[in-house]
């Protein structure tokens, strides 16, 4: 059902929390399941210097948020925009089909945070 990586990231996420004085924030929700994700970014020289998340949702949403942060850290904003939900699911060692939308929600939250940064800078 869930991979070891998904369970481990759900139990011990490495990137959870808020970044005080974040340069950008992106928040999205899924109307159907009610899960909400918030992504905080610290940007330096067009690169994601730090990224954290706050997610109120299922195991897959939390593990996906954590994996997303891992994948985005250190990337330029444009590189980070190219992160696909399949990169997240691959990093997690796949997700059950009905949980794929949790990884998609992560990419939307990141996109929103980057758009927020671009519109403010």
Taking CB atoms, the residue at the shortest distance from ligand FES is 33
Q: Residues in the site for ligand FES, rule: CB under 6 A?
A: 30, 33, 35, 57-58, 60-61, 99, 101-102, 105
Q: Is 102 a catalytic residue?
A: yes
CA distances from 4 to 7, 42, 75, 101, 116 (A): 5, 30, 26, 19, 34
List the end-to-end C-alpha distance of the chain, in Å, as a whole number: 43
To ligand FES, the closest distance from the beta carbon of 98 in angstroms equals: 8
Task: Provide the minimum distance between the beta carbon of 114 and ligand FES in the complex, in angstroms, as a whole number.
Answer: 20
Q: Is 58 a catalytic residue?
A: no
What's the sign of the alpha-carbon dihedral 68, 33, 10, 18?
Answer: positive
Nearer to ligand FES, 57 or 91 (CB): 57
Give the nearer residue to ligand FES in terms of CB position, either 38 or 99.
99
Catalytic residue among 7, 19, 25, 33: 33
CA dihedral 27, 30, 31, 36 (to 10 degrees): -50
Catalytic positions, please? Answer: 33, 102
């Amino acid at each position: 059902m869930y991979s070891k990586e998904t369970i481990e990231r759900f139990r011990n996420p490495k990137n959870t929390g808020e970044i005080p004085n974040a340069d950008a924030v992106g928040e999205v929700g899924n109307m159907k399941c009610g899960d909400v994700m918030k992504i905080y970014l610290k940007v330096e020289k067009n690169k994601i210097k730090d990224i954290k998340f706050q997610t109120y949702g299922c195991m897959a949403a939390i593990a996906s948020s954590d994996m997303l942060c891992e994948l985005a850290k250190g990337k330029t904003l444009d590189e980070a925009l190219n992160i696909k939900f399949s990169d997240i699911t691959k990093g997690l060692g796949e997700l059950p089909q009905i949980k794929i939308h949790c990884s998609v929600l992560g990419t939307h939250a990141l996109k929103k945070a980057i758009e927020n940064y671009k519109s403010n800078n």
